Amino acid sequence: MRKLSAHYLYLGNGNILEKGVVTCDDDGRIVDIQDTNGSLKESANVEFYSGILIPGMVNTHCHLELSDTKGVIPQHTTLPDFIRHVISIERAPLENRVQRAKVFDRVMFNEGVSVVGDISNGSDSFDVKKESQIKYHTFVEALGSSESVAKAAFQNVKEVLCKAHTMGLSASIVPHAPYSVSSYLMEMIDQHCEDSVISIHNQESSSENELFLTGTGAMAKHLSEVIGLDMCRFNVIHKSSIHSYLDKIATSHPLLLVHNTFMRQDDIELVRSVRGWDRTFLALCPKSNLYIENQLPDLSLFLSQNIPLTIGTDSLASNTSLSMIEEMKVLQDNCDELSLNDIVEMATLNGAKALQLDHQYGSIEVGKSPGIVLLKDVDLKKCKLTANSRSERII
Ligand SMILES: [Zn+2]
């Protein structure tokens, strides 16, 4: 049994306890939460930390299997060129890839990540995930722009999914992006398992919207010249990319839209009318957006519309770290309306809800085992992260 306290406890659900005490049993399950109203009496049994205690964090968008690609792809290429690099870079041998995945899994755990929503194109990272102390939900990602490859692509992801399930890993099949998955493939994904969590890279680039609006631009050029797609057969809908697929994903699936860098008011309205925002979440990956497109999503717009926001790191192909607190700093520094409490809720409970794991993770509540994390070197007067702020797992 451990009793922990700090200057503040941010519970992840929006509540704050000044010098509160959280008691965890030997398995990390929370058995008691005490509100001291800010006046903690000295007690031999209480470990007191300087900073803020929060629940274990939830990284809703990562690609652990790309952990060998750190620093390989140049910054600010924009998305079509970034994808061209990802396809063509020479990857490390399997043994090294697994080793890198193991290293960054450890880094994430030690920094306080308890849950990861992780994209996999193959099974290279599965042994690492199985051994990890982090709870992973694997998004087995399907790719195939042309209708002709849909059946083979789906068969391939079903085999990867089967391997994940055989190893006892939580997993679901998901589409990569609107421009890389044909209607037929999207239909098979939707119908495979009616209530599985689906994630999709959404409106990550302006050229993605341009493709669906006009059939032209850098993404159209990429599909034609690099992927070899016959653009005469591409369905130009004269609307942004999200209009091309949203009604093809049944509302029985919880949905996680990733990036949303070029999502606008009418796209938000579309989600509201097609499926509502109760089981639809946005994953923001600000450092990856800056790395690839040098652009951030419209945070003020999302906040003004009460959209449920979560945080992801994306992969080391498009980020310099898999650090949640570094993403949190970027969000804080680029949006005055966001309080640290809001950002913690995004990094914890909202993520757990998006991955349907909030019965155990995401908030400091009796009965849950979310992990307990210390935010240190925080400006406690202003309740702001500083450039030096770090996160460290306590439980
Ligand atoms: Zn991604």
Task: Please write the tens of the pLDDT for every residue from 84-109.
Answer: 998 889 899 999 999 999 999 999 99
Q: What is the mean pLDDT of residues 235-250?
A: 97
> What pLDDT shows up at residue 279?
96
Q: What is the mean pLDDT of residues 381-387?
A: 97
Residue 106 CA to ligand 1 centre (angstroms): 20
Q: Which two tokens stand for residue 229?
A: 């797609």
Residue 50 CA to ligand 1 centre (angstroms): 35
Amino acid at 264: R
Residues of the chain with CATH 2.30.40.10: 1-55+363-395
Q: What is the mean pLDDT of residues 168-175?
A: 98
Residue 132 CA to ligand 1 centre (angstroms): 21
> What pLDDT shows up at residue 8?
98
Least Cα distance to 26 among 369, 375, 386 occurs for: 369
What pLDDT digit, counting tens, does each position of 113-165 carry?
999 999 999 999 999 999 999 999 999 999 999 999 999 999 999 999 999 99
Residue 345 CA to ligand 1 centre (angstroms): 22
> What pLDDT shows up at residue 248?
97
Percentage of residues in the chain having pLDDT higher than 70? 100
Residue 324 CA to ligand 1 centre (angstroms): 15
Confidence bin at 233 (pLDDT 50/70/90): confident
More confident residue, 84 or 347: 347
pLDDT over threshold 80, residue 303: yes
> What pLDDT shows up at residue 87?
87
pLDDT over threshold 80, residue 265: yes
Residue 179 CA to ligand 1 centre (angstroms): 14
pLDDT over threshold 80, residue 44: no
Confidence bin at 41 (pLDDT 50/70/90): confident
Q: How many angstroms separate the Cα of 286 from the Cα of each of 97, 307, 326?
A: 25, 16, 9
> What pLDDT shows up at residue 174?
98
pLDDT over threshold 90, residue 282: yes
What pLDDT digit, counting tens, does each position of 308-336 carry?
999 999 999 999 999 999 999 999 999 99
> What pLDDT shows up at residue 133?
98
Q: How far apart are CA 172 and CA 190, in angstroms?
A: 11
pLDDT over threshold 80, residue 42: no
Residue 62 CA to ligand 1 centre (angstroms): 6
Domain 57-361 has CATH 3.20.20.140: yes
Residue 180 CA to ligand 1 centre (angstroms): 13
Residue 72 CA to ligand 1 centre (angstroms): 16
Residue 315 CA to ligand 1 centre (angstroms): 7
Residue 314 CA to ligand 1 centre (angstroms): 5
Residue 201 CA to ligand 1 centre (angstroms): 6
C-alpha 372, offset from chain centre: 20
Strands (E) across the chain are located at 2-10, 16-18, 21-24, 30-34, 46-55, 57-62, 113-120, 135-142, 170-175, 198-202, 255-259, 280-284, 309-311, 372-379, 384-393
Q: How far apart are CA 145 and CA 184, in angstroms?
A: 10
> What pLDDT shows up at residue 113?
98
Q: What is the mean pLDDT of residues 204-227?
A: 96
Q: What is the mean pLDDT of the chain?
A: 96
Question: Is residue 141 within 8 Å of residue 162, measured between CB atoms?
Answer: no
Residue 45 CA to ligand 1 centre (angstroms): 44
Residues of the chain with CATH 3.20.20.140: 57-361
Task: From the options 2.102.10.10, 3.40.50.300, 3.40.50.1370, 2.30.40.10, give the CATH code of 1-55+363-395.
Answer: 2.30.40.10
